[in-house]
Structures are given as C-alpha cells and as structure tokens.
Amino acid sequence: MTTGRGAIGQGLAPARQARPIEESEHIHVLGIAGAGASAAALLAAGAGAVVTGCDPGGPSPYTVALEAAGVPMAWAHDPRHLDTGPRPTRLAVTKALTAIDPDHAELVAARAAGIPVEPWQQVVADAAAGRVLVAVAGTHGKSTTAGWLVHVLVAAGSDPTAFVGALLPSSVVGGPPATARRGRGEHVVVEADEYAGNFDPYRPAHVVLTNVDWDHPDVFPDREAVVKAFEAWLRGAADVVGAVTLSVNVGDPGSIQLLDRLRDPRITIRPYLLEPGPPASVAGPVLTGAVVSADPTGTVLALRHGERELGTVHLATAGRHNAADALAVVSGAPGLALPLDSILESVATFGGVGRRLELKGIAGDVVVYDDYGHHPTAIRETLAAVRQRQPERRVWAVYEPLTYHRTAALLDSFADALSAADAIVIADIWPGRDPDLTVTSADALAAAVRARAPDRPVHAPGTVEATAAFLARSVEPGDVVLVMGGGRSYRISELLVEALAG
C-alpha cells in the first residue's frame, strides 16, 4: 500500500501562485468527463481560453454543461490531440491518471513537446486569481457545504464563481446542472480536496473545514498524516494571503487535533458545534446548533452564538450530518460580509446538490435515492437520513465500494455501517486509481456484513448492471433503496428506476 504521494502526481508541475487565465491560452483537459476536470474546463472557457478535452469513458452527467458551452470533446486519448489545431499551451489532468498510467501517451507527448502538464486544480485556482478565494475542505460534507454556501451567496446577490464536486442545479448555475459557476462577484468558492495535495494550488483567505477523518489510505497511513496535510495547507495559505479565517467544527476529534497543532496568529478561528458535543476548548464564543425536531420534511435547528440566541431555522435537508453542514455555512458566511438574516433565510431554502441523497424516482411504490457516500462515516449518516425521510419503509443499502485499498483498510468499518440497513447489496468494487484487485473483493465485504447481521439478506450480484437487475427482481412495494458509491453506482439507481417504471 502506498502511504505517501509516490507516483501520484509524478511528472506534474508543482503548485504555483495563481495567475489569471488568458484568452490566448489553449488548455487541453484529460479526463474532461470527471466532476472536477469538467469544472476546470468550464471555468477556463468562461474566462476566454480555448478549451478542448478527451475522456475514454465517454459522456457523463458532467459533460452536458460542456456540450452546452461548446467545448469540443473526444472520447479517446490520442497524442494527436496535441497537433490538431493550435497546439495547447498547457495540459490539465487529474493526478490519479499519473498513478494509473505514468507513461500515458498524451502526457509523454506533451512533455516531449515542452507543453506544461498541471493538475486541473491549478486551472480552477487560476480562474480565481485576483478575487477572494473561499475554500470548503474536510473529509466529509465538502460538496454539500460548498454548494450550500454558493446557494447563500447567489441568494444574497453576490454572484460568485464556484467549483463544487457535485452538480449544482440550473437555478444556481443559470444553465444545465454543472460543477462550476461563472460569476462576476468578488468571491470564488472552491471545494478543496486533501487527496495527494489536490488543494495545494488553492490559497484561500477564508476556509470552512467540516471535519478531519482518516480516508485515502493509499496516500495517508493514518489520521495524523491527514491532520498534517491540512496544517501545512492552512499555513501555506497564510504565507500567501497574510490572514486566514477558519470556520471549523470543534465537535470533530480530527479538527480538534488540527487546532491543537495550529496555533498561528495569522489564522482566526470561527468555531462551530452541533450539540450534543464535547465542550469546545477554544477561546471566544462558539456558534452552536441543536436539532429541535427531525421528520420527513426536514430538520429544525436552534442556533446560538455564545450566549446570544439566533433563533431557529427549518432545513429542507435530512440527517445530523446536513445539520452540521448548515452550521458550517452559517459560521463561514458572515466573514463574506453577508447579513445574518439573509444567511438564515437562504440556508432554509437549500435543496441539496447532485448525488447527495438525491431522489431518483418512485416507481411501483419503491423509493430510490442516489448518494455519493463511499466512506463508513458517510454511509452511516446517510442511512440515518433515509430513515428520517422514509421512517416506515424497509431500507436497502446498495453500495459500490470505491477503490480496493480503501475497502480493505476500512472493511470492518464499512461492514458495521452497512449492517444498519434492513437489506444489503454490494456491487463490484470500482477500482478508480487503484488497479490492485488482489487486496479485497465485494464478496469479502459481503461476508463481513453477514457476520454482523446474520438475520438480514446480504448479496453481491456483480457488476453495476447485474446489481440493478437483481434489485429490480427483489425489491417490494413499500421499500426504499439507497444506492451509494463514487464510481458508476449512479447507474444502478437509474437502471432500477427504469426497470421498475417499465
């Protein structure tokens, strides 16, 4: 198992100071159908650059917006892309590709031609150059919190630019759902991912940190390594921008561990806490929230800042994890010069982002949800949220594990989380950047769940398509199906709804 960055990102230009994208640039994006790469392409095109891209995986939910923007895309990698039309001035790529295929033909050809090769995050950072950068980071909840913050800024008339790792609705982006928004306001909101230094190009003045948990075992051997990565990033931001405000969840053990290390006068702490939680060991008042009620319509949250009562807000979202994300937004938004009344009003109208407990359909009295959850913590919280939404239904947890090493390292935790469902279905593991098929399997995870829940049905039908077909034969009226995963699991929910409706 890799425990450092190793070959991940090898051959890519290091993170640098952001500079404005120029209209004369030609940026070619490898893996353009991905959530982040598609956002980089949209933001670069919106800044006036010539943008092209390729992806052997073909069209995805993220390419609809690219097609609407007129970005040319090819569905295969080919070094000849560098010689068709004006030669690219740089290539943008996901770091994962450098680990999967370090001798990728287009990357080799670009280096031979002297074309800089950069992570797509650098393009996003360049699109933010000259404006106020707001980064939403953390192991869990980044996309929801970032999307929520963008929603609040749009409602306040701030017209932000944004990159969020989930589809933002048309009402926010002004076109087909997309992972990027191009605005004219001073704020740029980015989702900042810690994996292998993906957040290194971002030097934000404002940071919202949801939590610090152990994930990505291929690059982080333990939580301590994750904490150190966040510490280095935050100190690096302060080195560049001079002063950073950090809204941070002081109910999260990893965040507390970070704060114990991060005693830097350049970083102002804005603590928040979802009660019940541990006593906050930070100076100054804490923004706290308590769940007053939770039912299928949403969650009522009572807010207080220190001794000052701020009132209650009815969230349209379900689950304690979303209540914590709402607190993160309420903590971070005042630093962006938004009035509290406006913040609370718009927080209540947020409906979510794509693939975060997204209702895919109801057919034959079977309710089908889709979610990006691929970590035990996310699975546990999302299952609880489904039971809040659908309290009387039998819950099927359908999971496509994301990467072999994550599944192996967290196998027992995955089994514990999944066993809270009434029926469990495990699809084949999506390898992503992790091609080592030997470390574990879907059958191994299914066996671990059976050991914990011998009275519940547990199945491992195989591929995404086979899993959807199995569910279509097995679910009954009155059931609710929660599909989770970060690879092609979204196709399970789509295929299941189609089969049940047919």
Q: Is the peptide bond before 276 cis (omega within 30 degrees of 0)?
A: yes
Other CB atoms within a 10 A radius of the CB of residue 243 amount to 12
DSSP element (H, E) containing 445: helix 442-452
Q: How far apart are CA 113 and CA 292, in angstroms?
A: 61
Q: Give the model's pLDDT for residue 69.
A: 97
DSSP element (H, E) containing 423: strand 423-427
**DSSP letters spanning 335-374:** GGT--HHHHHHHHTT----TTSSEEEEEETTEEEEEE---
Q: Give the model's pLDDT for residue 283.
A: 77
pTM: 0.95
Provide the greatest CA pair distance for the chain. 64
List the pLDDT tens digit at each of the 502 positions of the chain. 333 334 677 788 899 999 999 998 999 999 999 999 999 999 999 999 999 999 999 999 999 999 999 999 999 999 999 987 789 999 999 887 877 777 889 999 999 999 999 999 999 999 999 999 999 999 999 999 999 999 999 999 999 999 999 999 999 999 999 999 999 999 999 999 999 999 999 999 999 999 999 999 989 999 999 999 999 999 999 999 999 999 999 999 999 999 999 989 999 999 999 998 876 678 789 999 999 999 999 999 999 999 999 999 999 999 999 999 999 999 999 899 999 999 999 999 999 999 999 999 999 999 999 999 999 999 999 999 999 999 999 999 999 999 999 999 999 999 999 999 999 999 999 998 787 888 999 999 999 999 999 999 999 999 999 999 999 999 999 999 999 999 999 999 999 999 999 8
Q: Give the model's pLDDT for residue 84.
A: 76
Q: Give the model's pLDDT for residue 4.
A: 36
Q: How far apart are CA 43 and CA 164, in angstroms?
A: 12
The closest alpha carbon to 161, from 18, 30, 318, belongs to: 18
- Residue tagged 């923007």 (tokens): 69
